[in-house]
Amino acid sequence: MKKIVITILSLISYVIGSSQSSSVQEYINAYKDLAISEMKRVGIPASITIAQGILETESGNSNLVKRSNNHFGIKCKHTWTGPSVSHDDDAVGECFRKYETAEDSYRDHSNFLRGSNRYAFLFDLDPLDYKGWAHGLKKAGYATNPKYPAILIRNIETYNLQQYDLPGAETQPIINDVALEPVSKKNTDAVAKHEVVTKVNLGSNTASIKAGKTLFNGLKAVLVPAGTSLLAIATEFDISLSKLMEFNDLQNDGILQDEQWIFLEKKMKAGNRDYYISEQGETLHSISQTNAIQLEYLVQYNRISEKEILRKGTRVRLRPGSENAGSNKQVKNIIHEVQPKEGLYAISKKYDVSVQEIKEINSLSSDELSVGQQLIINK
């Protein structure tokens, strides 16, 4: 009889362990897209967000998350005016925030970190530095458990969560004050004013444009439709026409022939990554606009005329340095076979190429890889 009981207990333990492991992957599959979206919005590595969610919710199984949709154990604090639940944590009956959806919880978690001075130093880290983030969260007081960083790092590396940082690392986060308000304080008028496309009168062109932060180096810009007058843009945003043309490396005033970003302040001297892989038909000027870099510096970094029409796959330097600059030469191809638990980031580091370049050359539409898949690596 004793042996039967032990056997039954062993089977129960096995089933529980198996379901727990499966539950972790189910949690990742369910919420990775939310984490990536929030990384693009405010800059918190998606791997960190998912790892925190796994830990705080016990992979979605905790009593707190089931009662409140609170995926990150955020307590009410004095700023919270929304619904709440009582939950025992460091003390009995503490107040925790309650959300209508998991998406609200993920968004509030991002706002909570980005809007607090305690965590401001974390946003100066490389977006792929998940270890720095893990230790920084503990240092800033997010958790009292001394093993908190090690637990996050173990979750990230066990489940290859760092692969989900790659989509967000390619761009600068889009942030505004309203987007950082607690979820409970959001209101329709404020969101409509700051986050939805703004209607402006551009002479005869009444099409909508997006005002605020670009995806490139965090500069103020507007996405302007074709057929718009530069003078109308300058007038609308109270900038002299000559300055607007200078900011955008434009020689001639007139009507824009294509939809494009128009910068409302001076562009940077260097990009937020080492290089850019061109599409067919691009020029240095178009690349300077989509990467927020002054054209004269882009010309300096590359052995290419600003008027040259580039071939698809041309590597264009976005920072000082001559290695592979403006390379239209044939390059050596290496075939890499994907190994178990190997992601694009690890492969890019192995061959000292960018994730973007690997995706471009292999026509990858996502960061997902399969074991045994063969990738072309240009060296």
- pLDDT higher than 50, residue 340: yes
Instruction: Return the higher-pLDDT residue of 342 and 175.
Output: 342
> What is the structure's pLDDT at 333?
62
Tell me: pLDDT of 40 over 50. yes
In degrees, to the nearest 5, what angle opens at C-alpha 212 toward C-alphas 39 and 196? 80
Same fold, 197-263 and 330-379: yes
**pLDDT, tens digit, 9 for 90 and up, residues 287-317:** 898 888 899 999 988 878 888 888 878 888 8
pLDDT tens column, 186-214: 433 332 222 222 323 343 333 334 343 34
Question: Per-domain residue ranges for the chain?
Answer: 2-72+100-188, 197-263, 330-379
Tokens 């109308």: give the residue.
Answer: 232
Alpha helices in 210-294 (DSSP H): 230-236, 241-247, 284-290
CB of 166 within 8 A of CB of 46? no
CATH label, 197-263, candidates 3.30.160, 3.40.50, 2.60.120, 3.10.350: 3.10.350
pLDDT, tens digit, 9 for 90 and up, residues 231-268:
888 888 888 888 999 999 998 877 888 878 888 889 98
Q: What is the mean pLDDT of residues 30-38?
A: 91
Spell out the CATH class of 330-379. alpha beta
Which phi and psi (to 5°) does residue 261 adopt? -75, 135
Helix axes 148-158, 130-139, angle to 10 degrees: 160
Contacts 24+ apart (CB under 8 A), 350-353: 351/377, 351/379, 353/377, 353/378, 353/379
- Rg (C-alpha) for the chain, rounded Å, is 25
Mean pLDDT of the chain: 76
What pLDDT score was predicted for residue 245? Answer: 92
The pLDDT value given to residue 181: 55
Helix residue spans in 91-176 (DSSP H): 102-114, 130-139, 148-158, 166-169
Which amino acid appears at position 190 of this protein? A
Say which CATH class 2-72+100-188 falls into. Answer: mainly alpha
Structure tokens at 167: 């989509």
137 pLDDT above the threshold of 80: yes
Asked whether the predicted pLDDT for residue 99 surpasses 80, the reply is yes
Give 379's pLDDT tier (boundaries 50, 70, 90).
Answer: low
Tokens of 292: 């927020």
- Residue for token pair 């005033």: 253
